[in-house]
Amino acid sequence: MPILKNAWILVADDRIKEIGVGALPEDSRYDEAIDMEGKKLLPAFVDSHSHLVYAANREDEFAMRLSGKSYAEIAEAGGGILNSARKMTQASEEELLADARKRLSALVKMGTGTIEIKSGYGLSTETELKMLRVIRKLQAESPVSIKSTFLGAHALPEEYKGRVDDYINLVIEEMLPAVAEESLADYVDVFCEEGYFSLDQSMRVLEAAKAYGLSAKVHVNQFNSLGAIKPMVDMGAVSLDHLEVMDDAEVEYLAESQTIATALPGCSLFLDISYTPGRKLIDKGAALALATDLNPGSAPSGNMALMMGLACSQMKLRTEEALVAATLNGAAAMELSDDLGSLEQGKLANFLVLPQEFTLASIPYHMGHNLIEEVYLKGNKIV
């Protein structure tokens, strides 16, 4: 990872026009000069996996966990994703948008400039569309670059109990066409896990989505390996996410592929489950991305600096690896690495300013303290 000293960046409109070191070229023209002497500029964080749009926090379930219930037991008792889905049905589009807007602006203050947001708390055509429309409104109004993912197969709604295949048919035959009709999603996702959707059911959804031009970013290997990694790599998944449970053959297969491996260490911390084998994946040649998984059930923190801290202390990444995972590789996990994720000529002018007293290592070291002094997105100072 190159580090430029005594550098300057020329920004025109929303992009980086030129980057250089030392004196500015003599013929340089600019309207405004901002002195960053002594400070450090980093690319803004890219959070490539979130469930930012949701209707209510689930502190009550947290209390249940603290009294000894597991995530699976809470889900079986009607909590979990279905709890969020019930609340989602009741919330209006305006309420959801207002909440999501607040959450997103809190993330920007912590340095996030790009985010992927999933549906998946709707679990009916109407409510999935409602979530996706909220994401679209955020896309239109926010300086944050946003990608949208359709996650209709996130959990089985109560009324489909014992009829998983019927629900998969609904996702494929009714939801997908409706989502595509309004161009509401960039990607498709499925929760491929015991008690949720099998490998076959997941593959059916992903294959069907291909016909609508939606590539896959998938929840796999969180609690169990259902053997999804090979077939999903082979079908061209852009990213495979979670990956807390992997055997060596799976690590190797994913590492040798073009699919991005996305670790969500905030989920490991909150649920007290194992961490994605990030060190092993990188050593075998994988492109590893770090994301927050921000959601009310398994990962309530949207703090990318904390994810870098966990990646270093728990997954044994080096500081530079954690930064690349939290920026450029996250951008690649949304097919945005030509535009975002690093400070390079032609890319969007999205950067963070660190004050003089901190170094790059200060970010993971301080475990989520917000050290960022200023945030620029698309050339404008936002924070």
Report the interface residues with Fe ion, using CB under 5 A: 293
Phi-psi region of 19 (alpha: psi -120 to 50; beta: other; left: phi over 0): beta
- Reduced to 3 states (helix: H, G, I; strand: E, B; else coil), residue 2 is coil
Under rule CB under 6 A, residue 222 binds ligand NIG: yes
297 binds, among Fe ion, ligand NIG, none (CB under 5 to 8 A by kind): ligand NIG
Closest CA relative to residue 321, chosen from 349, 269, 350, 279: 279
CB under 5 to 8 A by kind: which of Fe ion, ligand NIG, none does 191 bind? ligand NIG
Does residue 295 belong to the site contacting ligand NIG (CB under 6 A)?
yes
Q: Which residues have a Cβ under 8 Å from the Cβ of 370 and sit 6 or more positions away?
A: 109, 110, 111, 303, 305
298 is in the binding site of which of ligand NIG, Fe ion, none (Cβ under 5 to 8 A by kind)?
A: ligand NIG
Minimum CB separation of residue 218 from ligand NIG in Å reads 11
Alpha-carbon distance of 166 to 156, in angstroms, equals: 10
Which residue, 288 or 352, has its beta carbon nearer to Fe ion? 288
Q: Is 302 in the site for ligand NIG (CB under 6 A)?
A: no
Nearer to Fe ion, 11 or 74 (CB): 74
Binding mask 85-124 for ligand NIG (x = CB under 6 A): ----------------------------------------
Size of the site for ligand NIG (CB under 6 A): 13
3-class DSSP state of 74? helix
Shortest spacing between CB 64 and ligand NIG, in angstroms: 13
Concatenating the DSSP letter of every residue in 277-329 gives -HHHHHHTT--EEE----BTTTB----HHHHHHHHHHTT---HHHHHHHHTHH
- Closest CB to ligand NIG among residues 299, 354: 299
Q: Segment 251-280, which members bind ligand NIG (CB under 6 A)?
A: 267
CA angle, 327 then 239 then 303, to 5°: 40
CB of 193 to Fe ion, least distance (A): 11
**Nearer to Fe ion (CB atom), residue 52 or residue 170:** 52
Residue number, nearest CB to ligand NIG: 297
Neighbours of 10 (CB within 10 A): 17
Of residues 239 and 342, the one with the C-beta less far from Fe ion: 239
Q: Which does 85 bind (CB under 5 to 8 A by kind): ligand NIG, Fe ion, none?
A: none
3-state helix, strand, coil in the chain (%, to 5): 40, 20, 45
Single out the residue of 29, 9, 27, 28 nearest to residue 19, CA to CA.
Answer: 9
Judge contact between 176 and 209, C-beta under 8 A.
yes
Radius of gyration of the chain (CA): 21
Residues 151-210 that bind ligand NIG (CB under 6 A): 191
- 176, interface contact from Fe ion, ligand NIG, none, CB < 5-8 Å by kind: none
Identify the residue among 298, 301, 303, 342 touching ligand NIG (CB under 6 A).
298
Q: Is residue 79 within the footprint of ligand NIG (CB under 6 A)?
A: no
Of residues 116 and 293, the one with the C-beta less far from ligand NIG? 293
Which has the closest alpha carbon to 44: 227, 366, 304? Answer: 304
Query: Do 271 and 311 form a contact (C-beta atoms < 8 A)?
Result: no
Closest by CA position to 167, among listed 199, 193, 196: 196
Applying CB under 6 A, the residues found at the interface with ligand NIG are 80-81, 84, 191, 219, 222, 267, 293, 295-299
